[in-house]
Chains A and B, each alone.
Chain A
Amino acid sequence: MALDAAQGSRLAGLLGDHAEQIVKRWADSVAVSLRGRLSQAELQSQVRELHRALLVALEGDGRELHAESAGELRAVLSELSRSRARRGFTATETAVSVFALKDIVLETMSAGGGAEQNLRDFVAYSALIDQLGLFTFESYAKAREELIADQAEQLLELSTPVVKLWEGVVAVPLVGTLDSARAQVVMERLLQTLVDTGSPYAIIDITGVPAVDTQVAQHILKTVVAARLMGADCIISGIRPQIAQTIVALGIEFGDIATKASLADALRHVLKLTGVDAARRNARRES
């Protein structure tokens, strides 16, 4: 599929001789497909850079996209896809920027008079451009995946706050699905907060957890047991009616862990425990 040396230099000649014209036509045809979401000047400079990198690659030994001298071309392509991916363009809109070159090459070639050799050349050129296009697809997908991974991480950071409710009482309002990774983050945060604040009580509120299966229950139980090992007591609150039914249907046992229907109930429970302790101690001291 690669171009042979003669074809490579002919394409380089073609691109170099009509440089201005090609860049202009290229930018125009890309602009149509993007429907004005990118400024003309920006497009022009992107296309010009691509054109230059392609020329550099062709003049070197870079008739294959994976060749060493095509390094700059690859960098320009992946930078282009990356910026498009981050700005929310579709994969098609990104790849079209490269494929548009095909039409322009064909136009330029036919303007120079057609021959059988031209046809063979064009097939080879178009194979090269296809390669470039596929490369943008790959870069685009990779950029998108990175974006998604970043967002997932940010979500993880955002969605697990540990709040102090009262002197000696902290709470974790869980929102969203609880998978292993999140459960781990929640557990670590909660335990660290217990140490930092010296709170002997923690409330895990699962009002925002859409479904509780055996795995989620397992994660919660582990957190509670770990907190107990450290010397803090956990109360689970915010169990909705459907979830209570699911828990019973699945046969999940919470053992002697206190469960409450609402966060308010849990807080009242904890305050009663601490309040009674304090009251009893004071009473003893007085007597």
Chain B
Amino acid sequence: MERVPVLKIGDILLVSIQLDMEDQTALQLQEDLADRIVATGCHGVIIDITALDIVDSFVGRMLSTIAAISKVLDAETVVVGMRPAVAITLVELGLSLNGIRTALNVERGMELIAASREETDDWAVDLDEADPGQAATST
């Protein structure tokens, strides 16, 4: 069975889907990805679908599931590189991939994750500053 490689770049896991997804491949990918997120402690997942010609409801649901799993493990998922034809088809099918963030290419996706990490980091810092007593006790 073919497997989709999961690459680690800094704080981000990059998944580039280069083959047609079958049920088994998709399930394997979900499992691999969950394992890698936990093992590496990464906070961002980028799924590159530039090579996908067809995104049907099955692949759409797989993307949603991966996004949900990553979220539970505190990692942000961004789907990048969707082709115009694929986007048009999805819209015509009425699939809007709710809950998935998208970006035009891998670079933009990395920027997006970096930006959202900064926001949450800031929030954490603000919280620490606002309540230094709790921060002291927790350490």
Q: Which residues of A contact B (CB under 8 A)?
A: 187-188, 191-192, 194-195, 198-200, 222, 225-232, 277, 281, 284
Contact = CB atoms under 8 A, between A and B. Distances in A.
Given A225-B91, A226-B90, A231 B82 contact: yes
Interface of B: 78-80, 82-84, 86-88, 90-92, 96-97, 101-105, 107-109, 115, 118
A277 B111 CA distance: 11
Contacts of B88: 187-188, 191, 222, 226
Given A222-B91, A227-B87, A284 B82 contact: no
B84 A191 contact: yes
A281 B115 CA distance: 8
B84 A195 contact: yes
Given A194-B104, A195-B104, A198-B108, A229 B90 contact: yes
Which residue among B79, B83, B84, B86 has the maximum number of chain A CB atoms within 10 Å of its CB?
Answer: B84
15 contacts: A187-B84, A194-B84, A195-B83, A195-B104, A198-B108, A222-B91, A225-B91, A226-B88, A227-B87, A229-B86, A231-B80, A231-B101, A231-B108, A277-B115, A281-B118
A188 B118 CA distance: 35
A229 B83 contact: no
A228 B102 contact: yes
B83 to A, nearest CB: 7
B87 A230 contact: yes
A225 B96 contact: yes
A229 B115 contact: no
Given A188-B88, A229-B102, A230-B104, 9 more contacts: A187-B84, A191-B84, A198-B104, A200-B103, A226-B87, A229-B97, A230-B87, A231-B101, A231-B102
Contacts of B118: 281, 284
A194 B103 CA distance: 11
